[in-house]
Amino acid sequence: MTLQLGDTAPDFSAETTDGPIHFHEWVGDSWAVLFSHPKDFTPVCTTELGEVARLKPEFDKRNAKVIGLSVDPLDDHHAWIGDIAETQGHALNFPLIADPDRKIAELYGMIHPKANDTLTVRSVFIIGPDKKLKLSITYPASTGRNFEEILRTIDSLQLTAKHSVATPVNWRHGEDVIIAPSLNDEQAREKFPGGWKTLKPYLRITTQPQD
């Protein structure tokens, strides 16, 4: 199964380090970040889980829940948690899904046979409160993810879902944005009474709308 942007994220039930969950129910009215790991006790994954634990307050500020997944059993997850706290200085503070039968990994297309027949790649799925897939990124097993970038994309997704804007290259929260080309100038004047700078008819720069 290949998930595409705008698809409903598959629902599932699973055992996690925080107890059993039903995924859609767990997401609730929040945003969610589901990210997979090739297996437990791997070096890059250990650093990633420690970093997400460190950044969890930032995800919380954005009403975004984080949840990891590995195809190892729950007992291994619990054993691995100690290593993460010891080596990274941050204890796991979010659930880690046990997916030993690989059902969820298959459901989300996390196993890429040309990369490895059994191990999940480093997939990231950002899911909105409407349970639709908003963003997906796939990394090879050897490359650690940049979770500051994941936070940046959540900022952009949440802003552009609420306002008729797009975010330019390297944008960060608080910086200028682009007025959506779908708005003509008359419509834009209603939404952006403070005006904008026109670089090209299709490229109109304005200050970030405030909530």
Picking from 42, 94, 44, the residue whose alpha carbon sits closest to that of residue 65 is 94
CA distances from 204 to 28, 79, 98, 182, 183 (A): 36, 53, 47, 12, 10
Q: Among this protein's residues, is 45 annotated catalytic?
A: yes
Name beta bridge partners: 66. 33
Which of 34, 45, 53, 179 is the catalytic position?
Answer: 45
End-to-end Cα distance, the chain: 37
Q: How many CB atoms lie within 10 A of CB 184?
A: 9
* Strand pairing class (13-16; 96-98): antiparallel
| Residues annotated as catalytic (active site), given as ranges | 45
